[in-house]
Amino acid sequence: MKIHVASKNNVKIEAVSETIIQYPMLFVGSRVTGVKVRSNVPEQPKTLEETVQGAVNRAKAAFPGSDFSFGIESGLMHVPCTKTGKMDFCACAIYDGKEIHLGLSCAFEYPKKVTQMIHLPGMNASKAFYELGLTRKKRIGSEEGAIGILTNGRLTRKDYTKQSIMMALIHLENSSLY
């Protein structure tokens, strides 16, 4: 069975590889490959709609030549009663050639200055964290992620990506209910 992850980001590829091991009834003998595709949403999605659409677009674009494709996108969504009005989350869209199976991760709030910077042209979370001196790494999205920095490594980008994957897999594992 061929599985495409709609990214060359090792965090996303490893998250899918490590998660599907827990689902041998669905993915026995699977081979996971990262595929570079476009999300067709802004580099830093700033709404729930943009983030989910990015995951769906990635999954569909990566599907050719696979049995399943996984599109993973992190972004912001509006959340009332938060300090900044926004929280970051991860969306996973699994495409089987017919249907999208969607899952979301936990959500967390960026520091106020990061959220403000993200709304500047050409700015994303990695750049904001770097420019504010919150990390010395320029590409935290390919490593521990903002969540890893803010939790001091207790929860990493890979961990919260796995959450979104498991939530999307609920549909496949319980297909008779969906």
Average pLDDT (123-145) is 89
Average pLDDT (83-106) is 98
Say which CATH number the domain at 73 has.
Answer: 3.90.950.10
Distances 102 to 42, 77, 113 between C-alpha atoms, Å? 20, 16, 31
Average pLDDT (58-78) is 98
Residue 118 lies in a domain: no
What residue numbers bound the domain in which 172 lies? Answer: 2-109+156-177
3-state helix, strand, coil in the chain (%, to 5): 40, 20, 40
* Distance of alpha carbon 145 from alpha carbon 89, whole angstroms: 11
Residue 38 lies in a domain: yes
Question: Is the pTM above the cut of 0.85?
Answer: yes
Whether the per-residue pLDDT at 116 is higher than 90: the answer is yes
Residue 117 lies in a domain: no
Structurally, how many domains does the chain consist of? Answer: 1
pLDDT band at 122 (very low <50, low <70, confident <90, very high): confident
Give DSSP secondary structure letters for 82-125: SSSSEEEEEEEEEE-SS-EEEEE---BPPPHHHHHHHTSTT--H
According to the model, what pLDDT value does residue 138 have? Answer: 86
What is the rounded average pLDDT for all residues in the chain? 96
Whether the per-residue pLDDT at 142 is higher than 90: the answer is no
Residue 80 lies in a domain: yes
Percent of the chain with pLDDT over 70: 100
Strands (E), 8-165: 31-34, 68-78, 86-95, 100-104
Residue 151 lies in a domain: no
Residue 105 lies in a domain: yes
pLDDT band at 141 (very low <50, low <70, confident <90, very high): confident
Residue 126 lies in a domain: no
Highest-scoring range by mean pLDDT, 90-94, 119-123, 135-139? 90-94
